[in-house]
Amino acid sequence: MIEPFKLDVPQADLDDLVDRLARTRWPDELPDAGTDYGVPLARVRGLVERWKSFDWRAVEAKLNAFPQFTTRIDGQDVHFLHVRSDRDDALPLLITHGWPSSVLDFLDVIEPLRRDFHLVVPSVPGFGPSGPTRERGWSVQRVGRAWAELMDRLGYDRYGAQGGDFGSGISQAVAVAAPDKVVGVHVNYLPTPPPASGEGLSATDLERVEAIKRFLAQRPGYQVMHMTKPQVVAYGVTDSPVGLLGWVADKFDEWLDPRSDVSDDRLLEVVTLYWLTGTAGSALRLAKETAPGGPPCPAPLGVAVFAQDIILAVRGVVERQYDVRRWAEYERGGHFPAMEVPELYVEEVRSFFAEL
């Protein structure tokens, strides 16, 4: 059963948030800390002051302007936007977010994309309006199987998939689950395990391999915690809005292209959505539930590399493993291109599926 959905948070929850912000117990900070110890105290204080008067109802109105629905798949509630094109023959396109993101990431690109696509934009189980997961095993692969079921319920037997961060792996998992229905997968983030040998790789490829090796040798603490003990983090990000804000703001500030025109309100949108839906902790579990590797993506692949992303895909390695039909490099943009460079994101997605 598919039911219409409208986001309407009780006012008491908003009042409680403001009250908690007003009673924040602040940590101390070394006078010369800068960003060496994480997101600076002054940065978070400034965000909290902005958050106290943040207009959540305006965010609700933006989201509610698009058709939203919920359904239950594999025992889990799934929330999604379903925005059909005016063109009956448009290709259905399934778009998936990652962490720390949500369907709100795509609000700027829905209208331009719907000229060419019937859009399905779900909230990953454990994130936002889909609510917390209730059992073990909600991995990237399981989400991919759920998305294939969702597209079946919507009556789509031929469609594309797109995503970044976890959405990249989920989009590939959809193609594994429904290889006869997914015409292509486009990703804007594709972690590349370092190859045993650099033979045949370009100078750019070799530089990226070395950067990935450094990343893996000093894997960020947040990632280790998500992959091993997400429940420990969940207490802080679920009980304290400032704890949640600091955890997410640290990643936003690191992963955005500093030249991007992304306001702090976009950060507060996603943090507030996690807070009000009680999914700040459950969203972290996806990293622990997902084992490395998995079946290779059987669909034609498009890759967009944005220069300021966390790590950059290695073309020579990717082309050994995938049927790459399009490879594009962009000098602008970071980990959240749909927010940072929406015009580039839209044209890139259009170009890949048009070429197919």
pLDDT, position 125:
98
DSSP annotation string for 16-31: HHHHHHHT-------T
Long-range pairs for 243-247: beta carbons < 8 A, 24 or more residues apart: 244/271, 244/274, 244/275, 244/280, 245/44, 245/47, 245/48, 245/51, 245/271, 246/38, 246/39, 246/44, 247/100, 247/222
| pTM over the 0.85 mark | yes
In-domain check, residue 138: yes
Query: Among residues 167, 172, 157, which one has the least CA distance to residue 118?
Result: 157
Exposed/middle/buried for residue 105 (C-beta within 10 Å: 0-12, 13-18, 19+): buried
Tokens of 134: 């209730």
pLDDT, position 232:
98
3-state helix, strand and coil shares in percent for the chain, rounded to the nearest 5: 45, 15, 40
What percent of the chain has a predicted confidence (pLDDT) above 90? 96
Between CA 250 and CA 261 the distance in angstroms is 17
In-domain check, residue 201: yes
DSSP annotation string for 200-246: T--HHHHHHHHHHHHHHHT--HHHHHHHH-HHHHHHHHHH-HHHHHH
In-domain check, residue 202: yes
pLDDT, position 276:
98
Between CA 74 and CA 217 the distance in angstroms is 37
pLDDT, position 115:
97
pLDDT, position 12:
98
Which residues, in sequence order, are CB contacts of 110 under 8 Å at separation 6+?
Answer: 66, 81, 83, 119, 121
Q: Residue 343 sits in which domain range?
A: 2-24+47-355
What does the pLDDT look like over 197-256, one tens digit per residue?
Answer: 888 899 999 999 999 999 999 999 999 999 999 999 999 999 999 999 999 999 999 999
Q: Can you give the C-alpha Rg of the chain in angstroms?
A: 20
pLDDT, position 349:
98
Ranges in the chain, pLDDT < 70: none
In-domain check, residue 212: yes
Q: How many domains would you assign to the chain?
A: 1
Q: Could you tell me the CATH number of the domain that includes residue 198?
A: 3.40.50.1820
Between CA 355 and CA 340 the distance in angstroms is 24
In-domain check, residue 248: yes
Judge whether 241 and 16 are in contact, CB under 8 Å: no
Which residues, in sequence order, are CB contacts of 28 under 8 Å at separation 6+?
Answer: none
pLDDT, position 162:
99
Counting runs of H as helices and runs of E as strands, what totals does the chain give? 15, 9
pLDDT, position 192:
87
pLDDT, position 293:
82
In-domain check, residue 79: yes
In-domain check, residue 343: yes
In-domain check, residue 42: no
Q: Give whole-number Cα distances, 104 to 80, 101, 206, 235, 320, in Å.
A: 11, 8, 36, 24, 34
**Beta bridge pairs of residue 306:** 330
Q: Tokens 């095993």 — which residue?
A: 137
Give the torsion sign (CA, 182, 186, 191, 192).
positive
Query: Among residues 266, 317, 279, which one has the least CA distance to residue 296?
Result: 317
